[in-house]
Amino acid sequence: MSSSKPYAELPSSANNKEAVRAFTLAVPDADLTRIKTLVRLSNVASANYENTHADKSNEFGLTREWLAAAKERWENHFDWRKREQLVNSFPNFKAAIPVPHRGSPSDTSIEIHFAALFSKKKDAVPVVFLHGWPGSFFEFIPILRLLSEKYPDEAGLPYHVVVPSLPGYGLSDAPPAQRDFGLADAAWMLDHLLTKRLGFTSYVIQGGDVGSFIGRIMGARYPGCKAVHLNCCRVAPPPDFNPDHLDEVDKAGLKRTEWFTTTAVAYAMMHSTRPSTVGLVLMSNPLALLAWIGEKFLDWTDPASFPHTPKSGASSPSARDRYPYSIELMDEAIAGAALYYLAGCAPTSLYPYRDLSPRGKGGSATEHPSPDAHVNAPKILGYSFFPSEVMLAPKDWVARSGNLVFFKRHDKGGHFAALEQPAALLEDVEEFVKLLPAAES
The answer for residues whose C-beta is within 8 angstroms of residue 249's C-beta and 6 or more apart is: 385, 387, 409
151 is catalytic: no
Q: Which of 352, 287, 285 is nearest to 131 (CA)?
A: 352
Residue 441 confidence (pLDDT): 38
CB 260 within 8 A of CB 12: no
* 209 counts as catalytic: yes
> Annotated catalytic residue: which of 169, 353, 368, 383?
353
- At residue 35, what is the residue type? I
91 contacts 3 by C-beta, under 8 angstroms: yes
Residue type, 276: S
Q: What is the pLDDT along the chain (441 residues), one digit of tens a residue?
A: 455 789 999 999 998 888 999 999 999 999 999 999 999 999 999 999 999 987 777 789 999 999 999 999 999 999 999 999 999 999 999 999 999 988 888 899 999 999 999 999 999 999 999 999 999 999 999 999 999 999 999 999 999 999 999 999 999 999 999 999 999 999 999 999 999 999 999 999 999 999 999 999 999 999 999 999 999 998 888 888 888 899 999 999 999 999 999 999 999 999 999 999 999 999 999 999 999 999 999 999 999 999 999 987 667 777 778 899 999 999 999 999 999 999 999 999 999 999 887 655 544 434 455 677 899 999 999 999 999 999 999 999 999 999 999 999 999 999 999 999 999 999 999 999 999 965 453
Alpha carbon separation from 272 to 21, 356, 360 (Å, rounded): 34, 8, 5
pLDDT at 351: 95
Task: Tell me whether strands 92-101 and 104-117 are parallel, antiparallel or unpaired.
Answer: antiparallel
CB 191 within 8 A of CB 225: yes
**pLDDT score for 364:** 40
Number of H helices, E strands in the chain: 16, 9
CA distance 233 to 230: 7
The pLDDT assigned to 438 comes to 56
**408 vs 384: CA distance, rounded Å:** 5
* Contacts for 280 with CB less than 8 Å, ≥ 6 apart: 347
Q: Are 387 and 381 in contact (CB under 8 A)?
A: no
Annotated catalytic residue within 209, 299, 355, 428? 209
| 353 belongs to the catalytic site | yes
Whole-angstrom distance, CA of residue 316 vs CA of residue 332: 23
Q: State whether the Cα torsion 264-394-397-431 is positive or negative.
A: positive
Displacement of CA 254 from its chain's centroid (Å): 22
Report the SS3 class of residue 322.
strand
The per-residue b/e assignment along 65-78, b for 16 or more CB within 10 angstroms, e otherwise, is bbbebbbebbeeeb
Cα first-last separation, the chain: 34
Query: Rounded to an integer, what distance in angstroms lies between the CA atom of residue 431 and that of residue 86?
Result: 27
Are residues 77 and 335 in contact, defined by beta-carbon separation less than 8 angstroms? no
Bond before 176 cis per omega within 30 degrees: no
Task: Give me the catalytic one of 192, 229, 368, 415.
Answer: 415
Report the amino acid identity of residue 282: L
Which residue, 127, 134, 126, 128, is CA-closest to 112?
Answer: 128
Which residues, at least 6 apart from 121, have a Cβ–Cβ distance to it below 8 Å? 154, 155, 156, 157, 158
